[in-house]
């Protein structure tokens, strides 16, 4: 299948690579060209712009930072796409963003598939993402081999928009759990305890969580490889609250969590891994004495 892949960052680059390695004819584009060029080693064609990337493509995939970026790129690319081209929108853009992009697809005669992915750098590199697929059944069937190339599991969820709603639900869980782990570790440190005792105590019990052992040691050390940037988690928290307000759901915890991510971003950790939200809760020592 001839595929145009727009956006080759932390998530997009490994996804595009898996598609090329699966034997598809992949044309890639990224606003920062140096992030797209390495994919040429895996058989991808590096396009000079979005429009040239989608020229002749059967499928267009967008994996960009936010809804505004997706809209800007697709307004440039869509006129070059043939009528009926399938657009797999994989970015996390929220409910309002998804509705706007679906309207843009209709304007240009594209078949819109809303299929964000669940996972971070590791699952993306390993082809183990979870694809939250929603859209016309025939389009989902056509895209099934592509979903299989990048993921270990695909959920077919019905009409377009359902995938993005479920992604917000899952992201609420992720940001909440991440902050809960961070605050628990910071609390242990504040009580002059070795925070590894927290991880040891939950291990193997009903309160255990693999994610705590995955993120916890790096949080304790203050050194985490970037699996998912904190600034993107903050963006997702904003999308969660936007959706909650739209549907009259009060998410008091989510509002507090959002402020913790905002505080860490303001402290200079926006480009760090989302686990560095712990820096918003580290014990504050009185250094005025002496």
Q: Are 266 and 279 in contact (CB under 8 A)?
A: no
Share of the chain above pLDDT 90, in %: 97
Residue-wise pLDDT for 122-179, tens only, equals 999 999 999 999 999 999 999 999 999 999 999 999 999 999 999 999 999 999 999 9
Instruction: Give the domains, in start order, of the chain with CATH numbers.
Output: 2-159 (3.40.50.720), 164-280 (1.10.1040.10)
Token pair belonging to 80:
């070059």
- Report the predicted TM-score, pTM, of the whole model to 2 decimal places: 0.93
Token pair belonging to 267:
């402290």
Distance CA 8, CA 98 (A): 20
Q: Are 112 and 87 in contact (CB under 8 A)?
A: yes
Confidence category of residue 35, pLDDT binned at 50, 70, 90 = very high
Confidence category of residue 283, pLDDT binned at 50, 70, 90 = confident
Query: Would the pLDDT of 267 be above 90?
Result: yes
Query: Would the pLDDT of 272 be above 50?
Result: yes
């Amino acid at each position: 299948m001839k595929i145009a892949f727009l956006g080759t960052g932390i998530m997009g680059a490994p996804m595009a690579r898996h598609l090329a390695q699966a034997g598809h004819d992949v044309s890639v584009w990224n606003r920062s060209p140096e992030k797209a060029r390495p994919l040429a080693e895996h058989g991808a064609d590096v396009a000079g712009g979005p429009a040239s990337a989608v020229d002749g493509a059967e499928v267009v995939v967008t994996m960009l930072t936010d809804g505004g970026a997706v809209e800007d790129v697709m307004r440039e690319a869509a006129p070059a796409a043939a009528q009926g081209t399938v657009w797999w929108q994989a970015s996390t853009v929220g409910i309002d963003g998804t509705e706007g992009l679906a309207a843009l697809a209709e304007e240009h005669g594209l078949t819109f598939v809303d299929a964000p992915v669940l996972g971070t750098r590791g699952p993306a590199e390993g082809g183990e993402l979870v694809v939250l697929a929603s859209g016309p059944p025939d389009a989902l069937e056509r895209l099934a081999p592509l979903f299989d190339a990048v993921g270990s599991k695909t959920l077919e969820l019905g009409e377009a928009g359902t995938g993005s709603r479920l992604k917000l639900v899952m992201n609420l869980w992720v940001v909440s759990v991440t902050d809960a782990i961070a605050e628990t570790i910071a609390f242990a440190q504040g009580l002059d305890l070795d925070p590894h005792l927290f991880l040891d105590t939950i291990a193997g019990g009903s309160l255990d969580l693999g994610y705590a052992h995955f993120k916890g040691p790096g949080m304790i050390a203050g050194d985490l490889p970037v699996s998912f940037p904190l600034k993107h988690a903050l963006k997702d928290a904003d999308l969660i609250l936007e959706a909650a307000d739209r549907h009259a759901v009060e998410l008091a915890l989510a509002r507090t969590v959002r402020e913790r991510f905002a505080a860490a971003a303001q402290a200079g950790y926006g480009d760090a891994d989302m686990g560095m939200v712990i820096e918003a809760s580290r014990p504050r020592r009185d250094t005025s004495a002496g």
